[in-house]
Amino acid sequence: MDASFILITVLGVLVLTLGAGVWVGMALYSVAIISLALFRSMPVDKLLAQLTFNTVTTPELVALPMFILMAEILFHTKLSTSLFNGLSPWTTRLPGRMLHVNVLACTLFAAISGSSAATAATVGRITLSELFQRGYNKDLVMGSLAGAGTLGFLIPPSLILIIYGVLSETSILKLFIAGIIPGLLLALCYMGYLGLRATITPSMVPQDDSKPTWRDRMVGLVDLGPVVFLILLVMGSMYGGFASPSEAAAVGVLGAILVAAGQRTLNWQTIRKSCLGAVRTTSMIALIVAGAVFLSVSMGFLGVPRTIAGEIAAMQLSPMALILLLLAFYAVLGCVLDGLSSIVMTLPITLPLVVAAGFDKIWFGIFVVIVVEMAQITPPVGFNLFVIQGLTGESIGRIAKATIPFFLIMCAMALLIAVFPDIVTFLPNTITFKG
């Protein structure tokens, strides 16, 4: 059977199932089952059962439900208020003033969450209303929250980096530390843009004659104490050699419970909501990952990856041209699929290509995460857009338009690490891990 015909059939079934509103995980299973039934004679049921069991029992994936539960517990605390109160006194002298609270708060919360949508939702609960009331430009406030919320994918501990590490057989610990410099650099770029816009158009930022004292700033640091405590607890346990990522996730859950207890938000209702939320999110991710692994293996039996790789190799693209092609590919894909689905569906094809072109697997993990971050702020499926719509009531169109500058900053960051890969690989190649 011609591989091109098989590929067209696979893509056709995938478009039909996704277009019909079938869950992404079930759509991936459906495509694999139908394709194998049509083009190969083999025991599909046995292959499905074995691969699904092997995928969901992968030890490295244990960290996923723990980090998700940690974020769910923190969502029900007063952490968003603590972040706003703690950061506000430190931003008054910066161009753009409190606009930077969105970026700084998302950066800090990303270091204890791992989820982009959770980061945007938790930070936005307090910052959106506060900044709107103070007279800051709505579009700039919403755009900065949507863009900075994507840092939850990049700054460790990142749920999507855990999944990439499992699928690509790459050290999760090294992926985590590789995301630190790009994540902080991206946050600085966001802040630079906000400062520049506020300088060019002063009307976007209200006049504020308040002058916080050093005492106010010190009190603000106390408000940041719970966040700093959790970052040190989770990241310190991993990089100090005391815990694996899975064990550090369990430590993080304990830390989140302590923070909730300290803020007097820990009760049986909070625990119940957090556990149910974690179960729903974990189940969704597990279904998508298991379906993607099954589809990946199925495509291998059908020879699809080999065919696509051969076609791209025949184009004789330079390494940089390949990266530009992948950047455009993932940007378009992000308009119809969320970032997680994009990665797990395409990795079996794209990873061998970039490795053959001479790129490092850890570098590609960070690159692809930055690129799929764009999917969080591109309609019609950008999760962060829906989160902000739920918090503000604004139209998806207006919110999406407000995120365009931050989308372009992400594109520039992806190109920057392609030109200077040491931005990503410096820390993983320099630091020696204990344990």
Q: Is residue 435 part of a domain?
A: no
Residue span of the structural domain in which 30 resides: 3-430
Contact 290, 52 (CB under 8 A): yes
Q: Is residue 177 part of a domain?
A: yes
Terminal C-alpha separation, the chain:
50
Give the mean pLDDT of the chain. Answer: 85
How many domains is the chain partitioned into structurally?
Answer: 1
The Cα 146–Cα 155 span in angstroms is 15
Contact 298, 349 (CB under 8 A): no
CA distances from 281 to 79, 284, 288, 354, 395 (A): 21, 5, 11, 31, 26
Instruction: Of 179, 208, 197, 3, give the one whose Cα is nearest residue 92.
Output: 208
Q: Is residue 112 part of a domain?
A: yes
The Cα 428–Cα 426 span in angstroms is 6
Instruction: Quote the tokens at residue 107.
Output: 């950066």
The Cα 38–Cα 13 span in angstroms is 12
The Cα 204–Cα 198 span in angstroms is 6
**To the nearest 5 percent, what fractions of the chain are helix, strand and coil?**
80, 0, 20
Instruction: Quote the tokens at residue 105.
Output: 């708060």
Q: Is residue 100 part of a domain?
A: yes
**Stated pTM of the model:** 0.83
The Cα 342–Cα 325 span in angstroms is 15
pLDDT digits (tens, 9 = 90+) for 25-75: 888 888 888 888 888 877 888 888 888 888 788 777 788 888 888 888 888
Instruction: Of 149, 194, 143, 191, give the one whose Cα is nearest residue 401.
Output: 143
Q: Is residue 226 part of a domain?
A: yes
Tens-level pLDDT at each residue, the chain (435 residues):
566 677 778 778 877 887 787 887 888 888 888 888 888 877 888 888 888 888 788 777 788 888 888 888 888 888 878 888 888 888 888 888 888 999 999 999 888 877 787 788 888 888 888 888 888 999 999 999 999 988 888 888 888 898 899 888 888 889 999 999 999 999 999 999 999 999 998 888 887 766 777 788 888 888 888 888 988 888 888 878 788 888 888 898 999 999 998 888 888 998 999 899 889 888 888 888 888 788 878 877 877 766 776 777 777 788 888 899 888 888 877 776 777 777 887 887 888 888 888 889 999 999 999 988 887 788 766 778 888 888 888 888 899 899 999 999 999 999 999 999 999 999 988 876 554
Say which DSSP state 421 is in: T
The Cα 127–Cα 84 span in angstroms is 7
Phi, psi (5° rounding) for residue 431? -85, 135
The strand ranges marked E within 269-396 are none
Contact 214, 30 (CB under 8 A): no
